[in-house]
Chain A
Amino acid sequence: MDFLDIFLNANFWAASLRIATPLIFGVIGALVCERAGVLNLGIEGIFTAGAMAGWMAVWLGAGLWGGVAVAALAGAFFGLIHAILTVPLGLSQHVSGIGVTLFATSLSYFVYRTALPDVSSPPRIEPFKPLDIPGLSDLPFIGPALFQQTALTFLALFVVAATAFVLYRTPLGLAIRAVGDNPSAVESQGLSVYGIRIGAVVAGSALMALGGAFLTMSAFDAFFFGMVNGRGWICIALTVFASWRPGKALLGALLFGAFDAFQVRLQTDVGSFIPGQVFLMMPYILSIAALILVARKADYPRALLVPYFRGQR
């Protein structure tokens, strides 16, 4: 078979990284929220909002980086709603998250359709172009595999490193990890539990929205309904898969990307006798398998899903 061919092809690796990029933003965003103790099931909607808002801004003439900023702001906005509902108000994180997904998705669609009622084909923007890094991009194999991505992919990789640094090396990261483990530890040291949690959810949601923005501003150049297509939910699974660690999250997203890229390539060969769905199922099944393997060891944030009320025991 040409299995080997596939892996030896630099484009395969490039595709893996490309497919992984939105997931990297999403999983890091989800991770930041969950590290602070808040599950954010609003992610699917926040992806959509980021995709729509970023694209719309560029279409209205904001410039690509302006679009990225607008997407992040949109994500932060919906993150703030989720944060207010779940942190000081202490509402169920599941329901609030699903509510935010509903809200963000329908609002994005409604705004898009109301702004552009009569389009017969989706309007397009000039998206991010692959960066041509002199020297690196021309390297054999490595060049096309790693260095012909758009700026957003590099931003995603930078976000992973930055998140890891903040979480493990700075006082802020320590506070985030602590508030997800035991909020009263944070409060008794004179820090604000609500402040840290709200901040983390807002920041994490902004990152998620960048994943959406990647879809409309880099992977593609237009906004479509249903474009996010479950990518947000996958990030929730990847977060657990990664045991809430940024490095492993990157790895998980890349694995997922590689699997998807692999299945797309394999399908043209064996698609005729193995149903394509089998390949599509694989990442989910593997995620479950990975969960079973890591479940016992994972040091999950102990305060995840538990609202904190000051003065409560």
Chain B
Amino acid sequence: MPSAPTVLQLDQITKRFGSFTANDAVSLSLKKGEILALLGENGAGKTTLMNILFGHYVADEGTVSVADRSSGALTELPPGQPHAALEAGVGMVHQHFTLAENLSALDNILLGTEPLFSARSARAKGRARLVDLMQRSGLTVDLDARISTLSVGEKQRVEILKALYRDARVLVLDEPTAVLTPQESDTLFETLKTLAAEGLAIIFISHKLDEVIASSDRIAVLRLGKLVADQPTAGSTKLQLAELMVGQTVTLSSRPEQAAGRVLLTLQGASAGDGRAAIHDIDLALNSGEILGIAGVSGNGQATLARLLSGLEPLRKGSLTLEERDLGRTLHGQSARTMIEAGFARIPEDRHKDGIVGAMSIAENLAIETIRAPQNQRFGFLKFGAIAERARAAIKAYDIRCQGERAAARLLSGGNIQKIVLARTLEANPKVVLAAQPSRGLDVGATADVHRRLLDARARGAGVILISEDLDELMRLSDRIAVIHRGRLGPAEATETLDRSTLGLRMAGHDHAADAGEAA
């Protein structure tokens, strides 16, 4: 759309955090109705740039201009004022949602849209406008539902509605698909295209190159804070983009042929959890030397299954055996230790919340699972020297980028946090590896690293359960794939016999090939 007017202009934005330059003289512009994809490695400065645009951060140099609502002339935004950005028509969907969980969707959308000290809120009018908006955009949510009861996809729709309700003309989405299923992502991009066609200008950040190529009009790439490319999507290839981001060629590891071994882990008729997240009558057999993928739309019991295998959720019914040892009996929901000692390695889904203790040092985080083992303590007293030494070795072996083993773990980026988790869980040569969404939010390089580690574990003869919503990842790594839907797990079938659309259908609840056609 070469003739469309420019609605947003970032001019020579520079942002420094101390001596570190997160954005280095970045200039970008956006036209009405255009969809721009912003790419870059973890820490490249994408989120920072968008936060400056929205007024959360203040740039050290440079300006942000937005087209005036009436005249259309580019007008400079006062820095550091989110409400000014909102008023000028900039809407932002943050990487971590900014919703009040205890309030309804309607409340979240109306929040701050009326003068604070008015005696009554015009909810009825607001609701009517929203119903109309939902119809036009196809973004439907139950306006009266509490946010805490909504799925991730629904929450995201609320976030977008928040922006549209305020007549946003520029919409920024920070890694919107990181937490969405393929179907949800597809729907999202369809919606975005509709909105763009109506004139909305959109910037989205993503690490998934396929969707970037499929859905954007233009692509901008940041590397180390600098804009290294700003090009039309047409003609861009995945390989070229990956190279632009990383600055060198990226090789993706693939799964070598390997014969599966004996049965390691079996679940029979296993039920656990309650409510929507419960799992029912799950049968599963994991062999050594294989990766078993579990596909499914988030919220269908994966979390409970992961918690069960992590020893955090008691088994309500059925059995759980590892190499003929009955583990189900010993599980009371507080026995992560039992599972670790039995030889389970667990990579939790939310690495910030469940993977590390941010305030403790990297060395302590590396030792946390084995802190009671003789190598870490004697008579209850910690062996600091040994702990530090092993940490230094792990930092080297896993290439954890940090200032040393004494640095607080929270200072690391997501990718490096994941490396801590990998290092400490895989170090003990586990029999079973449970990996839940192991590459969510990670950039190409970090993702490749995680995949390599999982394949290494497989090569050593471990059984890996890979829970993921990313079908590409599942198809590339798994020997067999089973689909989980509404807490029930389908049979695991060899990956070679499956294709994306079959899996997608099963994830949506259409039954397995065996009893074809029946809708759930």
Residues of A within 8 A of B (CB): 169-172, 174-175, 177-178, 181-182, 184-191, 299, 301-302, 310-311, 313
Bitwise, B59-99 to A at CB < 8 A (1) or not (0) is: 00000000000000000000000110111000010101011
CA distance A182 to B112 in the complex (A): 14
Tell me the minimal C-beta distance from B478 to chain A in angstroms. Answer: 33
State whether B102 touches A190 (Cβ < 8 A): no
Q: Give min CB distance, A191 to chain B, whole Å.
A: 5
Q: In the complex, what residues of A have CB within 8 A of residue B85's CB? A: 190
User: Are A171 and B114 also in contact (CB < 8 A) when A177-B102, A190-B82, A311-B57 are?
Assistant: yes
- Which of B56, B111, B121 is within 8 Å of A178, CB to CB? B111
Is B288 part of the binding interface, using a Cβ–Cβ cutoff of 8 Å? no
Tell me if B110 is interfacial: C-beta within 8 Å of chain A.
yes
Give 9 closest A-B pairs by Cβ, nearest first: A190-B83, A189-B112, A181-B100, A188-B98, A184-B98, A178-B100, A171-B114, A185-B100, A190-B86
Tell me if A189 and B113 are in contact (CB < 8 A).
yes
Q: A188-B94, A302-B101 are in contact. Are A174 and B118 (CB under 8 A)?
A: no
Quick check: A182 and B118 within 8 Å, CB to CB? Answer: no
Given A175-B112, A185-B98, A191-B111, 4 more pairs with CB closer than 8 A: A171-B113, A174-B111, A174-B121, A311-B56
- How many angstroms between the C-alpha atoms of A174 and B101 in the bound complex? 13
Distance (whole angstroms) from the CB of B53 to the closest CB of chain A: 13
A170 engages B121 (CB within 8 Å): yes
Residues of B contacting A169 in the complex (Cβ-Cβ under 8 angstroms): 120-121
110-129 of chain B: CB within 8 A of chain A: 110-121
Q: B57: which A residues are within 8 A, CB to CB?
A: 311
Contacts A169-B121, A171-B116, A311-B57: A189 and B102 contacting too (C-beta < 8 A)?
A: no
Task: Give Cα A169 to B119, complex, Å.
Answer: 8
A174 to chain B minimum Cβ distance, whole angstroms, is 6
Residues of B within 8 A of A187 (CB): 56, 82, 98
Q: Which residues of B contact A189 (CB under 8 A)?
A: 86, 111-113, 162
Q: Are B114 and A313 in contact (CB under 8 A)?
A: no
Point out the residues of chain B lying under 8 angstroms from A190, CB to CB: 82-83, 85-87, 112
Tally chain B residues at the interface, Cβ within 8 Å: 32
B101 touches A181 (CB 8 A): yes
Which residues of B approach A to under 8 Å, CB–CB? 51, 56-57, 82-83, 85-87, 92, 94, 96, 98-103, 107-108, 110-121, 162
User: Quick check: A171 and B115 within 8 Å, CB to CB?
Assistant: yes
A276 CA to B405 CA, complexed, in Å: 60
Given the known inter-chain contacts A169-B121, A185-B98, please indicate yes or no for A191 contacting B83, CB distance below 8 A. yes
Q: Is the CB of A172 within 8 A of B102?
A: no
Given A170-B120, A170-B121, A175-B116, is A185 in contact with B108 using a C-beta cutoff of 8 Å? yes
Least Cβ distance of B130 to chain A in Å? 15
Measured between alpha carbons, how far is A181 from B110 in the docked complex, in Å? Answer: 15
Q: Chain A's nearest CB lies how many Å from the CB of B349? A: 18
A301 vs B162: C-alpha distance when bound (angstroms): 22
Report how far A180 CA is from B431 CA in the complex, Å.
45
Could you pull out 19 A-B pairs where Cβ atoms are within 8 angstroms? A169-B120, A169-B121, A171-B116, A174-B111, A177-B102, A177-B103, A182-B98, A182-B99, A182-B101, A184-B96, A185-B98, A185-B108, A186-B100, A187-B98, A189-B112, A190-B86, A190-B112, A191-B112, A311-B51
Q: Would you give the shortest CB distance from B96 to chain A, in whole angstroms?
A: 7
Tell me whether B96 and A313 are in contact (CB under 8 A). yes
Q: Find the B residue at minimum CB distance from A191.
A: B112
- Chain B residues, Cβ within 8 Å of A188: 82, 92, 94, 98, 162
Known A171-B114, A172-B116, A302-B102: A178·B108 in contact at CB below 8 Å: yes
The smallest C-beta distance from B161 to any residue of chain A, in angstroms, reads: 12
Given the interface pairs A178-B107, A189-B111, the reply to whether A299 lies near B98 with Cβ below 8 Å is no
**Residue from A174, A191, A299, A302 in contact with B107 in the complex, judged by beta carbons closer than 8 Å:** A174
Tell me, in angstroms, the Cα distance from A188 to B87 when the chains sit together: 12
A181 touches B102 (CB 8 A): yes
From residue B481, how far is it (CB to closest CB) to chain A in Å? 34
Shortest CB–CB separation between residue A76 and chain B, in angstroms?
17
**Cα distance, A187 to B87, chains bound together (Å):** 14
A172 to B101, CA, bound (A): 18
- The interface residues of chain B lying within 8 Å CB-to-CB of A299 are 102
With contacts A188-B92, A310-B56 taken as known, whether A171 is within 8 angstroms of B118 at the C-beta atoms is yes
Residue of A nearest to B115 (CB): A171
How far apart are the CA atoms of A222 and B162 in the complex, in Å?
54
Instruction: State A249–B447 Cα separation when bound (angstroms).
Output: 52
**A52 CB to nearest B CB, Å:** 32
What distance in Å separates the Cβ of A105 from its nearest Cβ neighbour in chain B? 34
Q: Which residues of A contact B108 (CB under 8 A)?
A: 178, 185
B118 contact set on A, CB distance < 8 A: 170-171
**Nearest Cβ in chain A — how far from B115, in angstroms?**
7
Closest A residue by C-beta to B51:
A311
Question: What distance in Å separates the Cβ of A306 from its nearest Cβ neighbour in chain B?
Answer: 13
Asked if B99 and A185 make an inter-chain contact with CB atoms under 8 angstroms apart, the answer reads: yes
Instruction: Indicate if the CB atoms of A172 and B112 lie closer than 8 Å.
Output: no
Query: Chain A nearest CB: distance from B45 CB in Å?
Result: 15
Chain B residues closer than 8 Å to A171, beta-carbon distance: 110-118, 121
Residues from chain A with a CB closer than 8 A to the CB of B111 are 171, 174-175, 178, 185-186, 189, 191
